[in-house]
Amino acid sequence: MTNIQHSSANANWYTPITIIERARAVLGTIDLDPASDEFGNSRVMAKGYYTEKLDGLSLPWHGSVFLNPPGGKLGIGPRAPSRGKLFWEKLLREAIVGHITHAIFIAFSLEMLQNTQKPYPGIPILPVGGMCNHLLCIPSARLKFDLETGKPNSPTHANAIVYVSRGIDNRTQFVHHFKDIGQCMVPSSWYYNY
């Protein structure tokens, strides 16, 4: 989501323009930003976007997707699911059934690399569920997300940028456009068959 709620204060944190430009270079046209708002999409320039009110988790996705998901949890309590993880799992389900061609997912924290390795109870395990099963970039410095006021806001967490390909494979372009901001990593499963 470009209008993300990464903090408990519910501040709107928008993806830095430089990251959006790199994502657009990899994805080409961005067909959908499934977690955004009018201001956020004025930066992403997706053909379509879903707002919090529309609830992108309940709607179909299509084509090339740029996703900076909302932070926080869906509900209250220690067992409330992470919104970021729910959006990640939705992205994978849409990719597996062929609704999306490829996508870039902005993970607000490296903790997502850990959290996505196990599904929530009652949700079937996806064959490529964890973020570590996909090409990713770990920026060498924390991303400075933007506030709607135009001021940058740096989180206290390191970030990850993940590329998911299904119908279109631009992995080489992803590395080309993101390698100067951090380490691009491929899953070991691409090289080894254990």
Q: In the numeric block, which tokens belong to residue 108?
A: 């607000």
For the stretch 111-164, pLDDT in tens is 777 777 766 555 555 555 788 888 999 999 988 888 776 666 666 678 899 999
The answer to whether 139 touches 192, Cβ cutoff 8 Å, is no
pTM of the model: 0.84
Q: Per DSSP, what are the bridge partners of residue 5?
A: none
Please tell me the class of the 17-190 domain. Answer: alpha beta
Domain ranges of the chain: 17-190
For the stretch 2-45, pLDDT in tens is 443 444 344 477 899 999 999 999 999 999 999 999 999 999 99
Question: Per-residue confidence at 193, pLDDT binned at 50, 70, 90?
Answer: very low
112, with CB counted inside 10 A (0-12, 13-18, 19+), is buried
